[in-house]
Amino acid sequence: MNRRLKEQIIKYLFLAIALSSIVVLGLIMIFLFREGLPLFNTVSIKNFLFSTQWYPTFDPPEFGILPLMAGSLAVTLVSSLIAIPLGVMTAIYLAEIAPPRIRGVVKPMVEMLNALPSVVIGFFGMVVVAPFLQDAFPDILTGLNLFNASVMLAFMAVPTITSISEDAIYTVPKELKEASLALGATHWQTIRKVILPASLSGISTAVILGMSRSIGETMVVLMVAGGAARIPTSLFNAVRPMPASIAAEMGETPYHSDHYYALFAIGMVLFLFTLVFNVIADHIAHKYKQVGAATL
């Protein structure tokens, strides 16, 4: 009886801990929507999402976030084009090619990038990358631009993509690999035709989570993206992603003003973007589970 009672207590304790995270997320969502929805009493959803004018201090103010959304999506896309190949190829090397001693050294070093504060990465982009870009491309107006922000965000996404992808590749059953090699496939053919399909679920999740971090990052884009609320037409345009606008303007915004509500409405859009990314990651993780085993 004592043992059964202890098991029940532990079971409900873990259930309570698991539910607490859902409760906290729910409270954050309620607060976010409570503070953001009043904006739409004065601004239509259409104008808020699709207008290109973001001038909250004008009379009358303009609250169009299309340039901010375009900036967020642009830095996320470009950073993903850099981080995904780098992260996945690093994961393949660590899991399938690197000797155990090198893997034991390189993997912790890659994961240590997660421990770097975002303000440090942003400062590096300001004092090192921005002057380099201006020297390398004299025609650009500033080194604080879309490309600079994308490179810094890629540095931040690579550890997430590499770590999760490497774990997914490393945990593919050895039987699959051995069966492929026994049939005459080379090591690279085994990686490409068996191991990667079998670990596609974990790799896809890693990619989506890396993109989610890029679209939600604040300090880096605030410091190195340039701060211009415009739709980018070049890699070297200054942009202002949504998190940067919230961080830059919230401290100077009158409480419960339309500007205040607009910033929380931006937070709502960011929340929905991140939610979509996570739903996609969960869908892909379930859709491609055990693909490699089924294919073999």
Q: Is residue 17 part of a domain?
A: no
Q: What is the model's pLDDT at position 250?
A: 86
Residue type, 204: S
Q: Which residues contact 161 (CB under 8 A, 6 or more apart)?
A: 83, 84, 86, 87, 88, 91, 206, 207, 209, 210
Q: What is the model's pLDDT at position 114?
A: 80
Q: Is residue 245 part of a domain?
A: yes
Q: Is residue 253 part of a domain?
A: yes
pTM value is 0.85
Q: Is residue 51 part of a domain?
A: yes
Q: What is the model's pLDDT at position 291?
A: 46
Q: What is the model's pLDDT at position 296?
A: 42
Count the Cβ atoms, other than its own, within 10 Å of residue 71: 31
* CATH number of domain containing 271: 1.10.3720.10
Q: β-strand 54-55 against 62-63: which pairing, if any?
A: antiparallel
Q: What is the model's pLDDT at position 293?
A: 46
Contact status, residue 129 vs residue 220, Cβ threshold 8 Å: no
Residue type, 276: V
Q: What is the model's pLDDT at position 100?
A: 85
Q: By C-alpha distance, which of 130, 146, 129 is closest to 225?
A: 146
Q: Is residue 19 part of a domain?
A: no
- pLDDT tens for residues 25-76? 899 999 999 999 999 998 999 999 999 999 888 888 889 999 999 999 999 9
Q: Is residue 13 part of a domain?
A: no
Q: What is the model's pLDDT at position 292?
A: 44
The parent domain of residue 138 ranges over 42-295
Q: What is the model's pLDDT at position 56?
A: 87
Long-range contacts of 54-57 (CB under 8 A, 24+ apart): 54/229, 54/245, 56/249, 56/253, 56/258, 56/259, 56/262, 57/259
Torsions phi, psi for 253 (to 5 deg): -100, 130
Contact status, residue 94 vs residue 111, Cβ threshold 8 Å: no
Q: Is residue 32 part of a domain?
A: no
Low-confidence ranges of the chain (pLDDT < 70): 1, 285, 288-296
Task: Please provide the size of the chain in residues.
Answer: 296
DSSP string, 125-137: IIIIIHHHHHHH-
Q: Is residue 209 part of a domain?
A: yes
Contact status, residue 133 vs residue 236, Cβ threshold 8 Å: yes
Tally of domains in the chain: 1
